[in-house]
Amino acid sequence: MATVILAVGALLCAIQAMRVQRLLPAALWLAAASAFTAMLLYAAGLHEAAVVELSVGSGLVFILLIYAISLSGDARRQGAPIVPRSAALVLVGLALLLVGMFVWPTPVDLGRVSAGLLSTSLWMDRQLDVVVQIVLIFSGALTIAGLLARPKAAAPANEVEGAAINPSEPTLVTPSDTSTRLPAPADQVAGCDGVKP
């Protein structure tokens, strides 16, 4: 019963997060949804994961969202979606239905039987995961350092490792600073022939 309430709560918060017009309330709803998720995890018996999810999902991500929103201002209403809503609904609904068909289990519920300790599983069996996490965090930090460095250094790379170590590296500089806009996508070169025959 508790699970149902929590699940419904999470769903409602998620729906609201996507529906509201202004960004700040959306971030709040998202934080609430993360909190509900954390509670669901706890109710399922995954205590440690629940704690981490609460602090990271409802905490860290929320704060980062607030920061980003504050840097850039609240959004207006967006334009019409590029992909028609009905098509999106159909596609996603169909995919979901099919995935559900594949994934829905035959009735068996082993409850909360735990086959081992988390610590053993994490540090012994899944050492690679730990290494990956470390690498991810490190490279993520580098990315952000590169991306949000002073405006003169443009590090346009999307790849995680591509961040410029030295933010004021002149070779990466585009001569004009970031306050000028990049040219709008003006001429659609349809029928471009590519390499000259």
Between residues 47 and 166, which has the closer beta carbon with respect to another protein?
A: 47
Q: How far apart are CA 43 and CA 30, in angstroms?
A: 20
Write down the least CB distance from residue 132 to another protein, Å: 7
Per-residue string for binding with another protein, 19-58, x by CB under 8 A?
----x--xx--x--xx--x--xx-xxxx-xx--xx--xx-
Could you say which residues in the range 66-125 bind another protein, by CB under 8 A?
67-69, 71-72, 75, 78-79, 81-83, 85, 87-89, 91-96, 98-105, 107-118, 120-122, 125
Is residue 63 involved in binding another protein (CB under 8 A)? no
How many Cα atoms sit within 13 Å of 160 on the Cβ side?
7
Could you say which residues in the range 127-156 bind another protein, by CB under 8 A?
129-130, 132-133, 136-137, 139-140, 143-144, 147-148, 151, 154
- Rg over alpha carbons for the chain, rounded to the nearest Å, is 23
* Residue 44 CB coordination number (10 Å): 13
Can you state the angle between helices 61-72 and 23-43, rounded to 10 degrees? 170
> What DSSP letter does each residue of 158-180 carry, written as one string?
-SGGG--SSTT-GGG--SS-TTS
Between residues 14 and 172, which has the closer beta carbon with respect to another protein?
A: 14
